[in-house]
């Protein structure tokens, strides 16, 4: 065999080996045979509501935010936005100022009557009056149009960091169940519930996301228990024990979403 043929054979063997390793690992090689690492899609634990009558803008933001692990929903008017906020659970609101009907400043005022939910105002560039009024009404930040999705993401993350509760002072109340994070204590109708550590963490994860479905596959990670390797069935057992201790039988607080996971019924706090 010639030296050239030998080198060609060697390259082909390495290429086949790379392809086989990539297939075994669930990753595909590129055209040159190099292994291409494709990271798993991020868990979308943050959910924002975009209230803006510009559908095209929402589509652009939705695509970019999804790529960065943030789920978004859309309301095309102020009235619809307030209705969606009443029925869903969100971590922040992106709110356009100039909308037909109920404008953004009026929507912000109504939000602040009931909630401290983080709100970023989307304003016409250079419109100082709207920015000042928005901040005085309780907006957490503003962004002038046009803007880049990258800047919006940076501002959103900064607002979420600033408004994040001190865990040691966090108290949650849903449907007669009260949870004190600092004391790691849970009471049901005023009586202390004796929970194990993992039961407490699972309940905390669900209560923080009341009204949102939490997939089984990510529930332990949301609970800060990603170090625990268990099956879906084991998670189900922990939830079953938790329901009994919360006197939640038949389930009215922690509901099963078949084939997906669990949701904590959203109640008044």
Nearest to 90 by CA among 60, 63, 65, 124: 65
Please name the residue that has the structure tokens 């609101």: 93
pLDDT along the chain (269 residues), means of 10: 45 41 37 36 70 94 93 94 83 92 93 86 77 84 90 91 66 88 89 90 88 83 62 81 92 91 75
The helix (run of H) or strand (run of E) holding residue 46 is: strand 46-51
Mention the CATH class of domain 168-264.
Answer: mainly alpha
Nearest to 119 by CA among 98, 96, 102: 96
> Would you kindly state where each structural domain of the chain is located, as residue ranges?
46-163, 168-264
pLDDT at 94: 96
Q: Is the pTM of this model over 0.95?
A: no
Q: What is the CATH number of domain 46-163?
A: 3.40.50.2300
pLDDT at 215: 87
Nearest to 208 by CA among 68, 86, 89: 89
Please name the residue that has the structure tokens 């519930």: 193
pLDDT at 232: 64
């Amino acid at each position: 065999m010639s030296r050239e043929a030998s080198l060609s054979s060697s390259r082909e063997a390495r290429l086949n080996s790379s392809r086989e390793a990539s297939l075994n690992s669930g990753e595909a090689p590129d055209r040159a045979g190099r292994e291409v690492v494709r990271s798993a899609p991020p868990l979308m634990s943050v959910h924002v509501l975009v209230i803006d009558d510009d559908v095209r803008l929402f589509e652009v933001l939705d695509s970019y935010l999804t790529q960065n692990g943030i789920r978004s929903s859309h309301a095309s008017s102020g009235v619809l936005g307030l209705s969606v906020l009443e029925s869903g659970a969100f971590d922040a609101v992106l709110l356009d100022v100039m909308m037909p009907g109920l404008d953004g400043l009026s929507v912000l005022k109504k939000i602040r009557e009931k909630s401290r939910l983080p709100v970023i105002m989307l304003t016409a560039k250079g419109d100082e009056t709207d920015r000042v009024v928005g901040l005085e009404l309780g907006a957490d930040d503003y962004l002038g149009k046009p803007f880049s999705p990258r800047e919006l993401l940076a501002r959103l993350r900064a607002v979420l960091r600033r408004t994040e509760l001190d865990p040691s002072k966090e108290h949650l109340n849903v449907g007669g169940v009260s949870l004190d994070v600092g004391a790691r204590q849970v009471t049901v109708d005023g009586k202390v519930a004796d929970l194990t550590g993992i039961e407490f963490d699972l309940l905390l994860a669900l209560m923080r996301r009341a009204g949102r479905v939490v997939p089984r596959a990510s529930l332990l990670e949301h609970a800060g228990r990603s170090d625990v390797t268990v099956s879906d069935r084991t998670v189900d057992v922990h939830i079953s024990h938790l329901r009994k201790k919360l006197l939640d039988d038949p389930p009215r607080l922690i509901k099963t979403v078949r084939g997906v996971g669990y949701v904590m019924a959203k109640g008044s706090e």
